[in-house]
């Protein structure tokens, strides 16, 4: 099993943290993992993405051209990565920030109102956790419980007050059912 995941959005949306959390969860499950962050010089508000490769065997290369899954947190990310998703792959779309139809066929598309769910929970910063929950519920790579455990073990102590909210955001995102496009 090897899954390549790209998470993309604007800086400040928690893109890099989401990928890092996936990497920690995979390592905690004794899987092989690579995590490569990429962001523009603007940081907050600029473009940001990361690539996570998770495998039960050694990873030959951390470079990914046809990911198994993409999380597109905004329209520019969807425009850039939609065509890159492997056939039968998963595309998780934050439909709160994307105002166009998905053009691809042959992939599973999960349309999640990430911002709205996070706002219902009381903190818009939880959008990334909502989308990660949706990804894991629709891609056979890690159980949700592994992500929850990694969050508890790797979230800095100063942010532990946010644990219950993060865990609820993951669960709410996981509730989204795969749609086929």
- 131 close to 94: Cβ distance less than 8 angstroms: yes
Per-domain residue ranges of the chain: 2-180
pLDDT at 28: 92
Percentage of the residues of the chain whose pLDDT score is greater than 90: 54
CATH superfamily of 2-180: Pyruvate-ferredoxin oxidoreductase, PFOR, domain III (3.40.920.10)
Strands 2-10 and 69-72: parallel
Average pLDDT of the chain is 88
Model's pTM, two decimal places? 0.89
Which of 8-12, 54-58, 113-117 comes out lowest in average pLDDT?
A: 8-12
């Amino acid at each position: 099993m090897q899954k390549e995941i790209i998470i993309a959005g604007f800086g400040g949306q928690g893109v890099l943290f989401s990928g890092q959390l996936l990497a920690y969860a995979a390592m905690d499950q004794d899987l092989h993992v690579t995590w490569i962050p990429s962001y523009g010089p603007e940081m907050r508000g600029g473009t940001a993405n990361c690539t996570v490769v998770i495998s039960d065997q050694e990873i030959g290369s951390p470079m990914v051209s046809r990911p198994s899954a993409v999380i597109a947190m905004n329209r520019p990310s969807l425009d850039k990565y939609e065509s890159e998703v492997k056939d039968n792959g998963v595309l998780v779309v934050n439909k709160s920030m994307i105002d166009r139809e998905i053009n691809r066929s042959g992939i599973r598309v999960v349309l999640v109102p990430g911002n709205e769910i996070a706002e219902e929970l009381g903190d818009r910063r939880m959008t990334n956790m909502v989308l990660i929950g949706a990804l894991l519920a629709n891609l056979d790579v890690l159980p949700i419980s592994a992500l929850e455990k990694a969050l508890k073990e790797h979230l800095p102590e100063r942010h532990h007050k946010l644990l219950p909210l993060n865990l609820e955001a993951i669960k709410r995102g996981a509730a989204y059912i795969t749609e086929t496009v």
